[in-house]
Structure 1
Amino acid sequence: MSLSKEAIQLITDNALLAAGKALPTNTLAILVPESANVVDLERFQAGRSRFRGTYSTHSLADFSAYVVARAAPDARGFIDQDAMTCAVLFNLGTPIAPGHADDRAVLRLKASAAFAAVQAVCGQNMVQKAMSDWIEDWNQHLAATDENGATMSIAKAIAAVRTITVKASSESDHAVGETRASRSTMDQIEASSKETLPAWLDFKVVPFEGLGEQVIRLRVSVITSGSQPVLKLRWIGEEAQREGIAQEFKAVLGEKVGASAVLSLGTFDAK
C-alpha cells in the first residue's frame, strides 16, 4: 500500500507536534508542523530576549547623554564627516564574539535655519529685490564692508543694492589703409549705485547645534550681462571652512562621549 504525499506530510506534522522539539537557540523556538518552519516565540514572552532598537536624534547633547548612559564595553561609533552623522553600535561585539549590531544610536546634525539660508543663497543669481530682501531678513547675522574694507551699516548696504543702475557705452576705432580697412568696437557696461555697494558680507552663524560660531565671508558680485543687474554671493574658502566644521564635529563628539564608545571616521554596514 502506497501513501500519498498528503498522507506522508500529515504523519510528519503529527510527529513533530507530538515531539514538540525545541531548538538550541538563545530565544526560545520550536519546530511546528506547518512545513517545519522555525517560529520565533519571543512575542509570547514576558519581555524581549535582548535589548535592541535605534535611537535617532538631531541633538548632539541628547545623543551624547544617551551614549554615555548606555555605555557598553565593546560599543563602537562611526563618524561620517561629509554627512555630519554619527552611529554608535552598542552590541557590535568583537570578531571573536560578534554581536547582532541592532542596538544603536544615530545622530544626524541638522543645519540651523541661518546656516541653511546662507547655503541656499550662495552661488545663486538674484535680482535686486531678492538680494535686498535676503539681507534684510538676516541682517542680525550680517556685517558689510566696502571695497576699501570700511565698515558700512546694513541699512546702507540694502539701499545700495536697491538703487543699482547700469550704464552702457560703446567706443569704435576705424583705420583705413591703401589695401585694408579695420574696425574695432568696445562696449563698456558699468554698474553703479547712489550708495556705496558692499563688496563683502560677513555672515555670523552657528552651523549646527553644539558647535561653535563661524563667520562666513561672502563676496558680492554684480552681473550686468542681462537686461537688469543680477547679484551673486560667493562663499570664500568654502571647502576649507566646511572641513574645519567637520573636524570640530569629531572633536566635540570625542569630548562628550569620552570612553563610552570608541569613535572612528567612516561608516559601518552591519548587513
Structure 2
Amino acid sequence: MCRLRGEALGRSRFRGALSTNSLHDFSDYVIGRNGPAAKGFVDQDAMSCRVFFNLGTELVPGHADDTATLQLKPTAAYKALRALAGEPQTQKELAEWMEDWHPQLTATDSEDKTLSIVQAIAAVRNITIKASAERSHTEGNFSTNRSSMDAIEAASQDTLPAALHFNIVPYDGLALRVFTLRLSVLTGADKPTLKPRWVGEEQQREEIAQEFKGVLAKEVGGSAILTLGSFNPGN
C-alpha cells in the first residue's frame, strides 16, 4: 500500500527488548516507560525478572513484544563462595583462597573466639597428621586375642579455625550478608584435606531470593504489577 505524501514514515507502535544485569538501570527503564499496563514476572530461582509493557488482557491481547529483562549476575565473591562450599581443598588451595579474600573474611576457633586471618592462614598451612597405635594381646589356653586401634588426628602449630565468616554482597543491588563456612579436616590420606561446609545454605539462598523480590518491588514501585514465576507469551 502506498503512503500518502507527507505521511510520517516509521513504526506504527513502539516495541523493543531491553536486557540488563543492573537492577538500578532496569528499574529506571521500567519507571521511565510509565506504562500503566506493565506486568512483570519474577523468577526467584533464576534471579531474573521480565516486564511486558504491551501484554494486554485476555479480552484485548497485546503483542507482547515490548519488554525489559533483568538477569542478576552473582558477584565475584559469591561465585567464589559457591565454588568452594562442599569441595575438599588441599592446605595450599584453602590457604590461597583465604589470602585472596582476606579483606572480607573473619575466622573463629572451636570456642567461637575470633582469630586473626593471618593466624588462621598460618594454621591451615601448618596442619600435620599424627598417628598413634594402641594394641592389646591376651592369651588363654585355647585362644589368642589380638586387637589393634589406630588413632589419627590433625594438629597445627597454631589454633586451627573452626569456621570462616565471609562478609559479601551476593548480587549487585542486594544487601551485605555473612556466609559461614564450617571447616572439617579429613585425615584419610597421607596429606590432610579440608572441607568447608556452607552453614544454612538452603535457607540463605531462599532469603536472597525473597530479598530480590522485595528490593525489585521497592525499586519499580507501582510502575509494573509483579508476579512470582515465569511467563511465555507464546506465538
CA distance in 1, matches of 2:58, 2:204: 38
CA RMSD of aligned residues (A): 1.5
Secondary structure of residue in 2 paired with 1:250: helix
Match in the other structure for 1:144: 107
Aligned-residue offset at 1:202: 0.6
* Greater RCO (Cα-Cα under 8 Å, separation 6 or more): 2
Deviation at 1:178, TM superposition (A): 4.2
Structure 1 residue 66 corresponds to structure 2 residue 29: yes
Structure 1 gaps of 5+ residues are 1-21, 23-27, 29-44
Asked whether 1:169 is paired with 2:128, we answer no
Q: Aligned pair 1:251/2:218, yes or no?
A: no
Equivalent in the alignment of 2:67: 104
TM norm structure 2? 0.93
The 3-state SS of whatever aligns with 1:167 is strand
CA distance in 1, matches of 2:83, 2:98: 13
1:112-170 alpha-carbon deviations (Å, 9 max, x no partner): 11111111111111111111110000000000111111111000001101111101122
Task: Tell me how far apart the structure 2 counterparts of residues 183 and 118 of structure 1 sit (CA, whole Å).
Answer: 48
The secondary structure found in structure 2 opposite 1:104 is: strand
Aligned residue number for residue 123 of structure 2:
160
Deviates more, 1:168-177 or 1:194-203: 168-177
Partner Cα distance (1:125, 1:218) in 2: 13
Distance 1:63 1:182 in 2: 75
Larger radius of gyration between Structure 1 and Structure 2: 1
- SS of the equivalent of 1:195 reads coil
What's the CA shift for 1:182? Answer: 3.3
Q: 1:82 aligns with which of 42, 45, 58?
A: 45
**Equivalences for residues 1-271 of structure 1 within 5 A:** 46-271=9-234
CA distance in 2 between counterparts of 1:145 and 1:157 reads 9
Structure 1 residue 179: Cα displacement: 4.5
TM-score scaled to structure 1, two decimals?
Answer: 0.81
Structure 2 residues not aligned, in runs of 5+: 3-7
